């Protein structure tokens, strides 16, 4: 007998009919309460679409919060650790936000849509924290997650494809810039942002436009080898490009039960997002203290010898365990074996040589491998295309 309470079933995104039609593998996952494809046809080929042609990822389940009102900028300034005033109109800023103890709750992007008009786009839900933060500010927060559909269009040919769609002069759009167009009589917004480290855009439309957008995009992009990509391929791209993910590389502070399991921006290698010269923000005094006293952990990107991904590995120095791996992957473009790790201070400085204790199995046979690894200072994959303006044609 079916469980009849359908009002709590997983939601589908506005692109679902199209996504489903292209999901050859019928391999689905639950992302933020939405039915989303893990893979469409082949994880590795999807990944290569991002790196050499164009990959399209449905990011409608991302949480979107509209922040408006006379205090919108002041509100955001108190919320996030970087200086909001430096984000111009029609610009996007990557940001993190902390609790009062200076522990990271989530990261996300802040879209400045007008003078006092912003959109926060975050991986985690933030209704509760954003609402508490309104105390003392003349600001309105609207959860517009369901009102905005989004596609990440990423890869070397993405600019060309979107230009064909009618996004004129898109190649002039700088990284983290926003451009506005219309699509079939409705607004279409493009931001030069993404989670892949490559040239790429995120396209935002009202849900009513979603299916037509998908159709036209794939029609116009056919010659530019456009492909849909699922969560697994994106995961590979983001690790290669050096992006962190909540619940994987750190625990959102408000969900942590055990003492000591939260992380500060400094401990995640995100100290560059903390600006002590800007107005008051949540976590400021705790972070100042941490800066003075030193952090407990260090975020390290590791180049691991060999080709076995160091997933869930312990990181050793000599016989001593000094850290654990949070994300790891063999990076097909960089041809490198990369891992992100949380390393106890004072270990893990750039250049440090450590050992990853890797367990892997082949045909039910488990092998323990002690792989030397080295702390590197930047993501292994760095595409110059990501930063070039005008955007290169392919």
Partner 1 sequence: MTDYDAIIIGAGHNGLICASYLAKAGKHVLVLDARNEPGGCASTREFAPGHHVSDCAQWLSQFDQGIVKDLDLKAAGLKLGKSKTTISLQSDGDHLVLDGDTISGAGVDSADQAAYRDFKNMVRSFAKLMTTLYRSRPPKLVEQNWTDRLTLMKLGLSLKLLGRERLRDLMRIVMINIYDVMNEHFSHAALKSAIALDAVTGTNMGPRSPNTVYSYLHRATGEHLGQSGTTQVLGGMGAFGQSLATAAEKCGAKIRLGSAVTAIVKTEERVTGVTLDSGEQISAKLVISSADPATTFRRLLGYHQMEAGMAMRVECYRSRSGTAKLHLALSGLPSFTGLSEGQLTERLVITPSMDGMETALNPMKYRELSDLHTFDINIPTLEDPELAPEGQHSLTAIVHYVPYEPDIGWEAGKPQLLSQLVSELEAYAPGIGALVTASELVVPSDFEASHGMTGGSWHHGELSIDQALMMRPFPGSTQYATAVEGLYLCGAGAHPGGGLQGLPGRNAAKEILKRGAL
Partner 2 sequence: MNQYDAIVIGAGHNGLTNGAYLAKAGLKVAVLERNPYIGGATVSRELHKGWWYSNCSYVSSLLRPEITRDLELPRHGLQVVSFGGGATFTRNGDYFGNYSDHDRHYREMARHSKRDANAYDRYAADTSLQTKLIRPYLMRTPPDPTSMKPRDLRDLLEFARSFMDLGEEKLLDTIKFWTASVGDYLNEYFETDVIKAHMAGSGIIGTALGVYSPGTAYVLLHHYMGDVDGNVGAWGFARGGMGAIADALSKAFQSYGGEIFCDANVDEIIVKNGRAAGVALKDGTEYKAPIVVSNLDPKRTFLDITNPSDLPKDVLKKARNFKIRGSSGKLNIALDGLPVFHGLDPRNRLMAGDLHFSDSLERQERAYDDWKAGTWSKDPYLDMMIPSLTDPTMAPPGKHMMSVFVQYAPPKVEGREWTDEDKDGFEKSVIDQISNYSPNFRDLILHCETRTPREIEAEVGLTEGNIFMGELTFDQLLFNRPFPGYAQYRSPIKGMYMCSSGTHPGGGVMAAPGANAAREILADLKKPNTVPGGYADD
Quote the tokens at residue 248.
Answer: 């994987």
Q: How far is the CB of 117 from partner 1 (least distance, A)?
A: 19
Distance CA 33, CA 326 (A): 23
Q: Which is nearer to partner 2, 7 or 353 (CB)?
A: 7
Distance CA 134, CA 131 (A): 5
Q: How far is the CB of 282 from partner 1 (least distance, A)?
A: 5
What does 2 interact with, of partner 2, partner 1, none (CB < 5 to 8 A by kind)? Answer: partner 2
Q: Which is nearer to partner 2, 128 or 169 (CB)?
A: 128
What does 99 interact with, of partner 1, partner 2, none (CB < 5 to 8 A by kind)? Answer: partner 1
Those residues whose C-beta lies under 8 Å from the C-beta of residue 135, and which sit 6 or more positions away, are none
Q: How far is the CB of 104 from partner 1 (least distance, A)?
A: 14
Q: Which is nearer to partner 2, 31 or 214 (CB)?
A: 31
What does 215 interact with, of partner 1, partner 2, none (CB < 5 to 8 A by kind)? Answer: none
Which residues lie near partner 1 (CB under 8 A)? Answer: 71, 74, 78-79, 99-101, 129, 132-133, 135-137, 279-285
Alpha helices in the chain (DSSP H): 16-22, 43-52, 72-79, 127-133, 158-164, 210-221, 231-241, 284-293
What does 136 interact with, of partner 1, partner 2, none (CB < 5 to 8 A by kind)? Answer: partner 1
Those residues whose C-beta lies under 8 Å from the C-beta of residue 108, and which sit 6 or more positions away, are 63, 94, 95, 96, 97, 120, 121, 122, 123
Q: How far is the CB of 78 from partner 1 (least distance, A)?
A: 6
Q: How far is the CB of 126 from partner 1 (least distance, A)?
A: 12
Quote the tokens at residue 373.
Answer: 């690894």
Q: Which is nearer to partner 2, 116 or 262 (CB)?
A: 262
Q: How far is the CB of 100 from partner 2 (least distance, A)?
A: 9
Alpha helices in 197-247 (DSSP H): 210-221, 231-241
Those residues whose C-beta lies under 8 Å from the C-beta of residue 223, and which sit 6 or more positions away, are none
Closest of 287, 284, 341 to residue 317, by C-alpha: 341
What does 8 interact with, of partner 2, partner 1, none (CB < 5 to 8 A by kind)? Answer: partner 2
What does 280 interact with, of partner 2, partner 1, none (CB < 5 to 8 A by kind)? Answer: partner 1
Those residues whose C-beta lies under 8 Å from the C-beta of residue 29, and which sit 6 or more positions away, are 35, 36, 37, 38, 231
What does 364 interact with, of partner 1, partner 2, none (CB < 5 to 8 A by kind)? Answer: none
Strand order through the sheet with 91-98: 91-98, 104-114, 117-122, 63-68, 140-143
Q: Which is nearer to partner 2, 8 or 319 (CB)?
A: 8
Q: Which is nearer to partner 1, 156 or 283 (CB)?
A: 283
What does 223 interact with, of partner 1, partner 2, none (CB < 5 to 8 A by kind)? Answer: none
Q: How far is the CB of 375 from partner 2 (least distance, A)?
A: 29
Helices first, then strands: H and E counts in the chain: 8, 19
Q: Which is nearer to partner 2, 128 or 363 (CB)?
A: 128
Q: How far is the CB of 10 from partner 2 (least distance, A)?
A: 8
E strands in 186-319: 186-191, 200-205, 226-228, 297-304, 314-317
Q: How far is the CB of 91 from partner 1 (least distance, A)?
A: 24
Location of structure tokens 């205090």: 71
Q: Which is nearer to partner 2, 282 or 383 (CB)?
A: 282
Which residues lie near partner 2 (CB under 8 A)? Answer: 1-5, 7-11, 30, 33, 101, 125-129, 131, 143, 252, 254-259
Coil vs helix vs strand at 263: coil
Q: Which is nearer to partner 2, 33 or 390 (CB)?
A: 33
Distance CA 17, CA 337 (A): 37
Q: Are 37 and 231 in contact (CB under 8 A)?
A: yes
What does 82 interact with, of partner 2, partner 1, none (CB < 5 to 8 A by kind)? Answer: none
Strand order through the sheet with 200-205: 178-183, 186-191, 200-205, 149-154, 54-58, 226-228
């Amino acid at each position: 007998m079916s469980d009849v309470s359908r009002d709590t079933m997983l939601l589908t995104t506005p692109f679902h009919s199209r996504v489903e039609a292209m999901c050859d593998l019928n391999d689905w996952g639950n992302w933020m309460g939405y039915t989303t494809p893990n893979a469409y046809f082949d994880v590795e080929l999807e990944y290569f679409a991002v790196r050499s042609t164009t990959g399209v990822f449905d990011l409608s389940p991302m949480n979107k919060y509209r922040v408006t009102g006379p205090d919108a900028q002041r509100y955001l300034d108190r919320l996030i650790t970087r200086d909001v005033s430096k984000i111009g109109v029609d610009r996007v800023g990557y940001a993190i936000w902390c609790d009062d103890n200076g522990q990271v709750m989530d990261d996300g992007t802040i879209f400045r849509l007008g003078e006092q008009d912003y959109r926060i786009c975050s991986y985690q839900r933030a209704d509760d924290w954003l609402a508490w933060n309104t105390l003392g500010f003349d600001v309105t927060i609207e959860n517009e997650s369901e009102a905005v559909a989004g596609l990440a269009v990423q890869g070397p040919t993405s600019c060309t494809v979107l230009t064909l769609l009618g996004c004129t002069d898109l190649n002039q759009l700088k990284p983290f810039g926003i451009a506005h167009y219309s699509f079939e009589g409705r607004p279409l917004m493009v931001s030069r942002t993404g989670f892949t480290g490559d040239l790429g855009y995120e396209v935002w439309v009202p849900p009513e436009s979603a299916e037509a957008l998908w159709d036209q995009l794939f029609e116009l992009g056919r010659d530019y080898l456009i492909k849909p990509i699922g969560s697994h391929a994106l995961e590979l791209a983001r690790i290669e490009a050096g992006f962190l993910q909540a619940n994987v590389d750190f625990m959102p502070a408000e969900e942590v039960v055990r003492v000591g399991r939260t992380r500060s921006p400094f401990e995640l290698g995100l100290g560059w997002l903390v600006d002590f010269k800007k107005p008051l923000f949540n976590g400021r005094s705790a972070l100042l203290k941490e800066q003075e006293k030193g952090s407990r952990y260090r975020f390290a990107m590791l180049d691991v010898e060999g080709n076995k991904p160091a997933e869930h590995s312990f990181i050793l120095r000599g016989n001593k365990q000094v850290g654990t791996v949070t994300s790891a992957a063999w990076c097909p473009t960089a041809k490198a074996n990369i891992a992100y790790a949380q390393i106890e201070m004072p270990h893990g400085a750039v250049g440090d040589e450590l050992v990853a204790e890797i367990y892997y199995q082949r045909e039910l046979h488990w092998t323990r491998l002690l792989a030397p690894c080295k702390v590197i200072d930047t993501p292994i994959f760095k595409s110059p295309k990501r930063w070039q303006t005008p955007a290169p044609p392919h």
